[in-house]
Amino acid sequence: MAISQRTGSFTAFSAFLAILLMTGACDAPAPGPRVEPSAGGSEDPGRGPSSPSPTAASPDAPQVVGPAPRDLHDVDWAEVPVPGDFCGVPGLVRWNADGQAVATSRTWGTVRLILGREVQYGDTDGDQHDEAVVYVGCDDNGATQNTQLVASYVVFDRVGDNLAAIGTITPQQKSASYTTALVRADFEPGRIIVHEKWYRPNDSHCCPSGDATTFWSREGNHLTPGAPRITS
């Protein structure tokens, strides 16, 4: 009889304990799903995925046009494309056998680009290797008698193992008529001195009488013009 009473008490206690456990389970919060770390992001779910570093190149970054030899004097410039932005032509311009190209300018429509025959060399960054200044011109492809639209120098340097255009130089002294011409470039540490011929109001097309120089500073692979200086 005592055994039956103890058994009954144990059974009742077990039932009461089960009810308490069930009640507690109903009130406890359900565990959420496991947070998996996102691929390539932060493994801390409280911080969220990390943002990737921007990879877009700066608009002022050198424009690679191909592999470079150790000495830029060995480059066949007739085979080297140039950025066409000086004449409003997007992308790179490639030359035909005559050193010319016809393209569409955002500013002037159909234009002809011309590669100069003489290339100038000098060292501005002190690495004992010359940079190159290549003349390129842009005209209206014979649409009018005033054909010359823009004259410019494209400056090339070796960047790593690549040949890169590090900047385009255009005349800074404005002319009263026609287009200011580029005469030559002189190289000094940290800068390129550009000599320009500009038109005074009474100058004929053949003969600009004004002289000016513009100092283009080089910082890294970026060229910045100063104000033109009239010398005559």
d(CA 189, CA 191): 6
Q: What are phi and psi of 13, to 5 degrees?
A: -65, -40
Amino acid letter for position 15 = A
Whole-model pTM over 0.85 = no
Q: What is the bridge-based pairing of β-strands 131-139 and 210-219?
A: unpaired
pLDDT category at 18 given cuts 50, 70, 90 is very low
Query: With contact defined as beta carbons under 8 Å apart, do 139 and 163 qualify?
Result: no
pLDDT 10s digits, 86-116? 999 999 999 999 999 999 999 999 999 999 9
pLDDT, residue 29, reads: 36
pLDDT category at 145 given cuts 50, 70, 90 is low
Q: What is the mean pLDDT of residues 155-178?
A: 96
pLDDT, residue 146, reads: 62
CA angle (166, 130, 126) in 5-degree steps: 90
pLDDT, residue 15, reads: 44
For every residue of 172-224, DSSP letters joined together read -SPPSSS-PEEEEEEEETTEEEEEEEE--TT--TT---EEEEEEEEEETTEEE
Residue 137 to residues 182, 185, 209: CA-CA distances in angstroms?
10, 15, 20
Query: With contact defined as beta carbons under 8 Å apart, do 99 and 78 qualify?
Result: yes
pLDDT, residue 142, reads: 83
Instruction: Say which residue, 46 or 63, is predicted with more confidence.
Output: 63
